[in-house]
């Protein structure tokens, strides 16, 4: 960590000196390595315009540098100026026809242009004389994957792994393709065989963990990730995924340890801070949760999940007005997340803003009509206001979307009984009992009077018999 910080400081000083010379119209000669560091600084900070102009300036001083030509082509690619990037790569090919890095980048640009066959042909042509054949097979897999040819991509990734058992990217993409093709379960056997060959492969255990996690076998995922970090104590991604699997198991205290190890090995990131905040929120340590969510937005003010996390912590403390403020910040960044609208709807309702709450429920419904909570909570507002017809209309719409959801039938039963429509109510009650008999207890929350509960119980008990 201190070494990385020192390196970043040095790069900033170099860039500052370089920019001052340009500003004073006093261009000086820089060594190739210095230009590389300045360009790298701009690329890492996504200042591609400055990176490109620096490349052009550097090439004037070092016209035969393959590194600079490749940098220029990569930056043009990032700027989506693909034809210009290809022209640079053609120039590089003339300088060194057998440079595999040039050909790999050329194939990547062709893939971005949708020219997958040309991309794969280039890679297959350089395969016989390439030193790192695993990289070529990996990029062939990427081209097939981009073209939607997941089985061919799977075969290519397996060839990459045969060449290099620890090819991290090939292992990861293989898991993705096997998931897409519905072969994720069979991938478990593949990874286990792979680990038998190399039991100390941290990446092998890591990808086995990914496969188990996707299959929702979280205990096994945790075990695999723990092997990965035992082998490589600086494996930040494995620590982070270990935290995610532990969260899925509800083991928030252990998840916190994993996320804090991620911070220790990788340094601060908005995603890790947000994950720590979520653990504290789930443990009901809301002030600590807010503290870490705020750390996340200090690093990335557009990290909507962190703003949402602050809002949820405040909601859980019944601080509805403050919660609305932060939830709306999340919505401003990402208005396509139905969970954000659902949280806003609940906060607005509890703050007494009924119209705003109804509007938010409607937005949530448009984004995700198959979430039962939307139908239950949205319709309840109308029920509470005595508008039984509107409440019934919504809950019936919910049943159309989710015909297997027993809670919706029981809610329709409650609304119909309140509206005095007993015959229709019993029809919905019967359906609810068929789908999930035990859920009938939901009804008693709506009818606290003992005589009504007795009457309902009598009907339900007859059905049981």
Residue 413 near residue 386, CB atoms below 8 Å: no
The span from the CA of 399 to the CA of 147, in Å, is: 39
Over its C-alpha atoms, the chain yields an Rg (Å, rounded) of 29
pLDDT grade for 193, boundaries at 50, 70 and 90: confident
pLDDT at 141: 96
pLDDT at 274: 98
Q: Is residue 137 part of a domain?
A: no
Q: Is residue 38 part of a domain?
A: yes
Q: Which burial class, exposed, middle or buried, applies to 289 when counting CB atoms under 10 A from its CB (0-12, 13-18, 19+)? A: buried
DSSP 65-125: -HHHHHHHHHHHHHTT-HHHHHHHHHHHHHH-TT-HHHHHHHHHHHHHTT-HHHHHHHHHH
Q: Is residue 281 part of a domain?
A: yes
Angle at 40 between CA 21 and CA 84, to 5 degrees: 95
Q: Which of the pair, 92 or 415, is modelled with greater confidence?
A: 415
For residue 380, give every residue at least 6 positions away whose Cβ sits within 8 Å of its Cβ, in sequence order, or none: 391, 411
Q: Is the pLDDT of residue 221 over 90?
A: yes
Q: Give the HSE-up count for residue 148: Cα atoms under 13 Å, Cβ half-sphere.
A: 1
Q: Which of 51, 77, 97 is the last residue of a domain?
A: 97
Mean pLDDT of 316-336: 97
The beta-strand segments (E) located in 251-316 are none
Residue 437 gets which letter from DSSP?
Answer: G
**CATH number for 53:** 1.25.40.10
pLDDT at 8: 66
pLDDT in tens, 248-295: 999 999 999 999 999 999 999 999 999 999 999 999 999 999 999 999
pLDDT at 318: 97
As for how many domains the chain has, the answer is: 2
Q: Is the pLDDT of residue 97 over 80?
A: no
pLDDT at 145: 95
pLDDT at 283: 97
Mean pLDDT of 5-33: 73
pLDDT at 383: 96
Q: Which of 345, 360, 375 is the last residue of a domain?
A: 360
pLDDT at 3: 47
Q: Is residue 57 part of a domain?
A: yes
pLDDT at 452: 77
pLDDT at 362: 97
- Nearest alpha-carbon partner for 278 in 302, 296, 266, 262: 296
Question: Within 10 Å of residue 197's Cβ, how many Cβ atoms?
Answer: 9
Q: Which of 336, 360, 384 is the last residue of a domain?
A: 360
Q: Is the pLDDT of residue 1 over 60?
A: no
Q: Is residue 248 part of a domain?
A: no
pLDDT in tens, 377-387: 999 999 999 99
The span from the CA of 247 to the CA of 218, in Å, is: 9
pLDDT in tens, 443-464: 988 888 877 778 888 888 776 6
pLDDT in tens, 337-365: 999 999 999 999 999 999 999 999 999 99
Q: Is residue 184 part of a domain?
A: no
Q: In percent, how much of the chain has pLDDT > 90?
A: 61
Residue 307 near residue 298, CB atoms below 8 Å: no
The span from the CA of 35 to the CA of 46, in Å, is: 16
Q: Which of 65-79, 147-161, 327-341 has the lowest mean pLDDT?
A: 65-79
pLDDT at 5: 47
pLDDT at 465: 56
pLDDT grade for 6, boundaries at 50, 70 and 90: low
Q: Is residue 90 part of a domain?
A: yes
Please give the mean pLDDT across all residues of the chain. 91
Q: Which of 93-102, 141-150, 252-261 has the lowest mean pLDDT?
A: 93-102
Instruction: Give me the domain span that covers residue 3.
Output: 1-97
Q: In percent, how much of the chain has pLDDT > 70?
A: 97
Q: Is residue 454 part of a domain?
A: no
C-alpha torsion angle, residues 231, 235, 239, 242 (rounded to 10): -60
pLDDT at 20: 80
Collapsed DSSP state (helix, strand, coil) of residue 27:
coil
The span from the CA of 344 to the CA of 357, in Å, is: 7
């Amino acid at each position: 960590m201190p070494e990385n910080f020192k390196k970043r400081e040095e790069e900033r000083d170099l860039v500052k000196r370089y920019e001052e010379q340009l500003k004073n119209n006093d261009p000086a000669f820089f060594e190739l390595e210095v230009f590389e560091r300045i360009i790298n600084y701009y690329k890492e900070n996504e200042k591609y315009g400055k990176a490109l102009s620096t490349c052009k300036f550097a090439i004037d001083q070092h016209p035969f540098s393959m590194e600079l030509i490749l940098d220029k082509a990569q930056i043009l690619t990032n700027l989506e100026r693909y034809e210009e990037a290809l022209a640079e790569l053609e120039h590089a090919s003339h300088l060194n026809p057998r440079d595999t890095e040039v050909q790999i980048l050329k194939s990547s640009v062709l893939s971005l242009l949708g020219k997958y066959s040309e991309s794969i042909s280039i890679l297959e042509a350089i395969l016989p004389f390439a030193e790192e054949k695993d990289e070529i097979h990996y990029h062939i897999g990427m081209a097939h994957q981009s073209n939607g040819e997941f089985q061919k991509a799977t075969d290519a990734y397996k060839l990459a792994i045969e060449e290099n058992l620890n090819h991290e990217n090939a292992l990861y993409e293989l898991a993705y393709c096997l998931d897409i093709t519905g072969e994720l379960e069979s991938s478990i056997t593949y990874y286990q065989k792979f680990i038998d060959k190399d039991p100390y492969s941290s990446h092998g255990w890591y990808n086995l963990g990914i496969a188990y996690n996707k299959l929702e076998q979280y205990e096994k995922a945790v075990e695999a990730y723990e092997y990965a970090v035992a082998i490589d104590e600086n494996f930040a991604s494995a620590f982070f995924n270990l935290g995610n699997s532990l969260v899925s198991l509800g083991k928030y205290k252990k998840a916190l340890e994993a996320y804090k190890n991620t911070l220790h090995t990788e340094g601060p990131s908005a995603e890790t801070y947000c994950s720590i905040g979520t653990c504290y929120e789930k443990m009901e340590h809301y002030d600590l949760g807010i503290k870490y969510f705020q750390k996340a937005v200090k690093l990335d003010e557009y990290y909507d999940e962190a703003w949402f996390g602050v809002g949820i912590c405040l909601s859980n403390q019944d601080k509805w007005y403050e919660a609305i403020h932060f939830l709306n910040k999340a919505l401003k960044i990402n208005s396509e997340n139905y969970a954000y609208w659902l949280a806003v709807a609940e906060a607005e309702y509890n703050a007494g803003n009924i119209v705003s709450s109804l509007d938010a429920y409607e937005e949530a419904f448009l984004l995700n009509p198959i979430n039962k909570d939307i139908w239950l909570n949205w319709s309840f507002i109308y029920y509470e206001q005595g508008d039984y017809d509107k409440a019934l209309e919504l809950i019936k719409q919910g049943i159309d979307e989710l015909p297997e959801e027993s809670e919706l039938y029981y809610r329709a039963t409650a609304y119909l009984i309140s509206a005095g429509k007993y015959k229709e109510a019993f029809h919905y009650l019967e359906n609810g009992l068929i789908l999930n008999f035990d859920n009938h207890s939901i009804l008693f929350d709506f009818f606290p009077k003992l005589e009504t509960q007795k009457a309902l119980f009598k009907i339900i008990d007859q059905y049981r018999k």
